[in-house]
Amino acid sequence: MKKILVTGGAGFIGSHLCTRLLDDGNDVISLDNYFTGSKDNIKHLIGNPHFEAVRHDIVMPYLAEVDEIYNLACPASPIHYQFDPIKTIETSVLGVTNMLKLADYGKSKILHASTSEVYGDPMMHPQREEYWGNVNPIGIRSCYDEGKRCAETLMMDYHRQHGTRIKIIRIFNTYGPNMSVNDGRVVSNFIIQALKGEDITIYGDGSQTRSFQYVDDLIDAIVRTIQTGDDFTGPVNLGNPREFTIRQLAEEIIRLTGSKSKLCFMPLPGDDPRQRKPDISLAKRVLDWEPTVQLEEGLKKTIEYFRSIDF
């Protein structure tokens, strides 16, 4: 049995990860300040003697002896990370430094959740790990994009300078049950609007693209990544390479919910990337992994989840 720390354990992805790690027979501590996460996401784990939920902000140091650290703590949706941008960048820089110090102290492995946002508005399509990105350092998304880029730098420098055992994953747009109802991300927004019969809010003309990964596929990839040898640090792209326009996504959600909602077009937010699609050759080769849940199946499960909760 391994002792594992999951920061952001009460969040969307973190709650699925805690569940999977407990199912695999580990002892799990969730560390979360509940800024965007919720106790509802982990209520099924409370009472499990192998699970502890600790309220803590990773911007402050934390001490525990653990075998593995999965650092997921960070607001992830544009509305949430722009709510307090200084705190967002502190979480990526000071928070990640604290977790790296903890990994050094316990000689534990540390996996860090980076993002496709490190590619910014990409000039290379699809995006490969070698691409350095096209990021605005002073825009409204910079607190997140540049914070995550700096976190990757810290991870690599701790690895080179101290020999810290690191893994960096770059997650592309992920969706599924436990997404927060008010985080403004496109999948949750469109499903909730469709279920309420409200207009579907497309920002811009809806021709921008994203590639949507169902959360179960991501969790499988995360577990495979931590099991790789110490010589594999990443970064590795984890996403579903099937690319859709935002308009196609809206139409698919209307079809699957049977909603009478209409499309409405609103201004595109600043620095919104035009296109995004992962090249996952590295993950296929090193992790022997590729996503198996296609958009229709994943959306059906997510719609079922949103129908089951009171929003």
The smaller minimum CB distance to ligand UDP, of residues 51 and 119, is found at 119
**266 strand-pairing partners:** 203
Cis bond before residue 126 (omega within 30° of 0):
yes
Among 16-24, 126-134, 181-189, 216-224, which window interacts with ligand UDP (CB under 6 A)?
181-189
The number of beta carbons lying within 10 Å of the beta carbon of residue 224 is 16
Q: Is 259 in the site for ligand UDP (CB under 6 A)?
A: no
For the chain, helix (H) and strand (E) counts, in that order, are 10, 13
**Contact region for ligand UDP (CB under 6 A) — 3-11, 81-89, 122-130, 195-203?**
195-203
Q: What is the torsional sign of CA 169, 136, 160, 56?
A: negative
Task: Compute the distance between CA of residue 72 and CA of residue 167 in angstroms, rounded to an integer.
Answer: 12
CB 197 to ligand NAD: min, Å:
26
Residue 19 within binding range of ligand UDP, rule CB under 6 A: no
189 binds ligand UDP (CB under 6 A): yes
Q: How far is CA 237 from the centre of its chain?
A: 12
Task: Count residues binding ligand UDP (CB under 6 A).
Answer: 15
- Applying CB under 6 A, among 15, 41, 71, 77 the residue interacting with ligand UDP is 77
Residues 231-250 that bind ligand UDP (CB under 6 A): 246
Token digits for 124? Answer: 């290379």
Euclidean distance between CA atoms 311 and 296, whole angstroms: 22
Q: List the structure tokens of 161.
A: 């300078």
C-beta of 32: minimal distance to ligand NAD in Å? 5
Q: Taking CB under 6 A as the rule, does residue 261 contact ligand UDP?
A: no
What's the CA gap between 102 and 7, in Å, rounded? 12
**Do residues 64 and 43 make contact, with C-beta atoms less than 8 angstroms apart?**
no
- CA distance to 68, 219, 269, per residue, from 166 (Å): 10, 18, 34
- Which one is catalytic: 62, 81, 119, 144? 144
Cβ(64)–Cβ(11) below 8 Å:
no
User: For residues 11-70, which are near ligand NAD according to CB under 6 A?
Assistant: 11-14, 32-37, 57-59
Identify whether 305 is a catalytic site residue.
no
DSSP string spanning 283-310?
A: HHHHH-------HHHHHHHHHHHHHHS-
Q: How far is the CB of 4 from ligand NAD (least distance, A)?
A: 16
Q: Say whether residue 72 binds ligand NAD (CB under 6 A).
A: yes
By CB under 6 A, residue 179 contacts ligand UDP:
no
Whole-number Cα distances in Å, 30 to 4, 68, 72, 253: 9, 12, 10, 33
Running DSSP on this structure, what letter comes out for residue 40? G
Cβ distance to ligand UDP smaller for residue 78 or 147: 78
Q: How far is the CB of 4 from ligand UDP (least distance, A)?
A: 28
Q: From the CB of 220, what's the least distance to ligand UDP, in Å?
A: 22
Residue 173 binds to ligand UDP (criterion: CB under 6 A): yes
Q: Could you list the residues that contact ligand UDP (CB under 6 A)?
A: 77-78, 173, 184-186, 189, 201-203, 208, 210, 246, 269, 272
Q: Could you list the residues that contact ligand NAD (CB under 6 A)?
A: 7-8, 10-14, 32-37, 57-59, 72-76, 91, 95, 113, 115, 171, 173-174, 180
Q: Which residues are catalytic?
A: 144
